[in-house]
Structure 1
Amino acid sequence: MSTAVSPSFGQSVALVAEREITSKLQSKAFVISTLVLFALVLAGILFSGFAGGSLSGETKVAVTSDSSAALAEVPGLELIEVSSVTAAEDALRNDTVEAAVVADPASPTGYTVVTLHEVDNSLTSLLSVAPTTHVLEPSATDPFMRYIVSIGFGVLFMLAATMFGSTITQSVIEEKSTRVVEILISTISTRALLAGKVLGNTVLAMMQVIGIVVVTILGLTITGQAGLLSLLGAPMVWFAVFFLFGFILLAAMFAAAASMVSRQEDAGATTTPITMLIMIPYVLIILFSDNPAVLTAMSYVPFSAPVGMPMRLFLGEAQWWEPLLSLAILAVTAGIAIVVGAKIYDNTLLKMGSRVSLKDALKG
């Protein structure tokens, strides 16, 4: 008579991870929300790229033979020569040009800007004589682009970590409340169950992050933003690497926190501190994207390193060894979180009823 052989630790982890991944991929809500997220990211990049291109395009200006020479060296203008002032006005009314510049002896500059409905301040500023400027310490990146990229890193980290952290929390509590967990741990260990949940959701989160990176590259390529793409290339790769370890850290904490309660209604009491750890980097990166001291501190704190370090790499403010050191700190912290989380998970998974305090969870 043959006896059933219990699966090994590795096999148990793989089975649980496969179950987590399969259940999510079979969920229409998850698949649709992911596709919508990809579509929104692509649409945002395409809109900003094409809008930026149209805004930075040359202004079409009608000029006569008397005024064309004076504007020949002005950047940002596409000069369309017409035969007379009347022809210039006709071009304006036909929307062939956006403005006209005609000779005017009575004007202090020798010419007059003619528009159809209102004064074109952008053209006026182009024609104005500005003093020479000299910046002692010029910024390596455009301030607006700095702000947009900081929001991008912050939002991506917050959304992915929150979404899959919530998934882990719901899964653990559901298994406890329905007592399915009692059947599961009769075959596999609690640590294998925890490791499988963390692994499965980490794979799903990384798939989503990598998908967003691919969509971003596609959008920047379509809109011809090769310069921005070259600046974002290495930081996006580093973001994916940091996110991997950062999410493992958070996933272990979410699973441990969820095992301390038996009802979904009580989950907020144990998971809110973890959610705050996710929100703080998002707020800081937006408020202090132009503050090197804050960004440097963020890049070495494990919970904010996945946002802070890629941002500093994008800005060119980090030395080559800094991301390696920051990643080592994050990896060690993630390892500690897994050990502590496994202890809490093991001690509280079968405890039903009221919420287990952290002190009791650690004591067992």
Structure 2
Amino acid sequence: MTLTSQTQPTGTGTAAAAPTRHTNSFWQSVGLVAGREIGTKLRDKAFLFSTVFFLLLTVASTVLPAMLSGGPSSVAVVGSEAAEVLDRAGLEVRTVADEQAARDLVLSEDVDSAVVVGPNGVRVLALDEAPSDVVGALSTAPPVELLAPNAVDPVVRLLVPLVFGMVFFFTSITFGIQIAQSVTEEKQTRIVEILVATVPVRALLAGKVIAASALAIGQIVLIAIAAVVGMTVTDSGAIMDQLAPAIGWFIPFFLVGFVLLAAIWAVTGALVSRQEDIGSVSMPVQLLVLVPFFAVIFGSDNNSLMTVLSYVPFSAPTAMPVRLFLGEAAGWEPVLALLLLLGAAVAVLLFAARLYEGSLLRTNGRTTLAAAWRNRGN
């Protein structure tokens, strides 16, 4: 067991603190803080409700479209040859004895349409609208050559950047604001003075960032699992095969990008002494998330712009997975982009740690970045 002594500066606007004794190692202190934050969050009904809500929304968005679209059309058939053709087309086929039986089923709406094969050829019976799927199945199609067989559906191409962007944007903003509010609340209630007497200031920062990151990545993993299960149930195998590599890369990109932003949000909360002042200092942080979000959404068709965005720390967590989904990124690019993002996260963490130390015990109102940098603990 180690014993250290640390004195915080008592300059202008700084709350005087008694010499602190840290009886735990740094990582033991980080574990204590992280455990406390996670335990508090898991007991928070709002957090649990939001997690369940996002899971239900994910399942609904993958399952409901298939359910609402209905099953295959049902068709009554007179004649075995037509029945085989329609069955191969994936339609629900009911073989009947004669034309009158087929007409009765259509009139009673027990089937969507009927096909009658007789001396005069093939006729299709329907109630009030020509069944295009039945007509298409009976027609002789010319040979088709696909020039871009792996092309992404335009609707899916629009939705994927939106989904990745919204997940990263809303998760980082929601958890980020909660981190800032937690830090400010501890300052406002003076609990922070008790905390720093027990654990080092940097361990307090690390514990908060690790706890928030663990909870956020837990939510993302659950959402990803729900999406995969939903697409499996609805037999959306083609889309899932395209999305799988992008989702696999999105998780580590999200984790590193979130850690970077979480550290900034913690500093944001440490710079003020009242909950009411968080809004005045959080706007630049929100813009760091908001601007890349819109850049990826509206620039997803611009390959040059997306290439640049996939290497910028604040947009890489969404831009690179989108490029991977669209097949526009080489195999080495996500590795390089992730390493650059990791380096940026480490640099921001070191910078944020110094600002956090210099502002956490200053309780006279808003602390400037310059003052926080000068007045860090020794």
CA separation of 1:130 and 1:271: change in aligned 2, threshold 3 A: farther
Q: How far has the Cα of 1:321 moved from its partner? A: 0.6
2:178 — aligned with what? 167
Q: How far has the Cα of 1:141 moved from its partner? A: 2.4
2:212 — aligned with what? 201
Q: How far has the Cα of 1:294 moved from its partner? A: 3.2
Separation (CA, whole Å) in 1 of partners of 2:213 and 2:25: 21
Separation (CA, whole Å) in 1 of partners of 2:38 and 2:80: 72
The aligned runs of 1:189-268 (5 Å cut-off) are: 189-268=200-279
Contact 2:76-2:96 at 8 Å conserved across structures: yes
Q: Is 1:277 aligned to residue 288 of structure 2?
A: yes
Separation (CA, whole Å) in 1 of partners of 2:139 and 2:296: 38
The aligned runs of 1:49-64 (5 Å cut-off) are: 49-51=66-68, 54=70, 57=72, 59-64=73-78
Q: How far has the Cα of 1:165 moved from its partner? A: 0.6
The aligned runs of 1:90-169 (5 Å cut-off) are: 90-101=104-115, 113-120=124-131, 136-137=147-148, 139-169=150-180
Q: How far has the Cα of 1:192 moved from its partner? A: 1.7
SS of residue paired to 2:60: helix
2:46 — aligned with what? 29
Gapped regions of structure 2 (runs ≥ 5): 4-20
Separation (CA, whole Å) in 2 of partners of 1:363 and 1:104: 94
The aligned runs of 1:328-339 (5 Å cut-off) are: 328-339=339-350
1:88 — aligned with what? 102
Separation (CA, whole Å) in 2 of partners of 1:245 and 1:310: 14
Equivalent residue letter for 1:96:
D
Separation (CA, whole Å) in 2 of partners of 1:39 and 1:79: 35
Q: Choose 166-175 or 305-314, whichever is displaced more.
A: 305-314
Instruction: Count residues in correspondence.
Output: 356
Contact 1:68-1:79 at 8 Å conserved across structures: no
Find 1:296's aligned residue among 273, 285, 307. 307
CA separation of 1:99 and 1:67: change in aligned 2, threshold 3 A: farther
Q: Choose 194-203 or 287-296, whichever is displaced more.
A: 287-296
Separation (CA, whole Å) in 2 of partners of 1:219 and 1:336: 39
Alpha-carbon deviations, 1:115-172, whole Å to 9, x = none?
3234545656667788876564455322223333333222221222122111101101
Equivalent residue letter for 1:47:
L
Q: How far has the Cα of 1:194 moved from its partner? A: 1.0
TM-score w.r.t. length of structure 1: 0.84
CA separation of 1:293 and 1:69: change in aligned 2, threshold 3 A: same
SS of residue paired to 1:352: coil
SS of residue paired to 2:345: helix
CA separation of 1:112 and 1:224: change in aligned 2, threshold 3 A: closer
Q: How far has the Cα of 1:48 moved from its partner? A: 3.1
CA separation of 1:320 and 1:91: change in aligned 2, threshold 3 A: same
Separation (CA, whole Å) in 2 of partners of 1:112 and 1:93: 16
Contact 2:85-2:137 at 8 Å conserved across structures: no
Q: How far has the Cα of 1:75 moved from its partner? A: 4.2
Alpha-carbon deviations, 1:205-233, whole Å to 9, x = none?
11111121222232233333333333333
Separation (CA, whole Å) in 2 of partners of 1:236 and 1:86: 54
Separation (CA, whole Å) in 2 of partners of 1:236 and 1:290: 20
Gapped regions of structure 1 (runs ≥ 5): none
Contact 1:68-1:81 at 8 Å conserved across structures: no
TM-score w.r.t. length of structure 2: 0.81
Contact 1:66-1:102 at 8 Å conserved across structures: no
CA separation of 1:337 and 1:134: change in aligned 2, threshold 3 A: same
User: Taking every aligned residue pair, what percent have the same amino acid on both sides?
Assistant: 40
Contact 1:150-1:289 at 8 Å conserved across structures: yes
SS of residue paired to 1:195: helix
Contact 1:67-1:101 at 8 Å conserved across structures: no
Q: How far has the Cα of 1:39 moved from its partner? A: 2.5
Separation (CA, whole Å) in 1 of partners of 2:140 and 2:372: 72
Over aligned residues, Cα RMSD in angstroms? Answer: 3.2
Contact 2:180-2:265 at 8 Å conserved across structures: yes
Contact 2:313-2:341 at 8 Å conserved across structures: yes
Separation (CA, whole Å) in 1 of partners of 2:105 and 2:272: 73
Equivalent residue letter for 2:106:
L
Separation (CA, whole Å) in 2 of partners of 1:277 and 1:345: 19
Q: How far has the Cα of 1:235 moved from its partner? A: 2.0
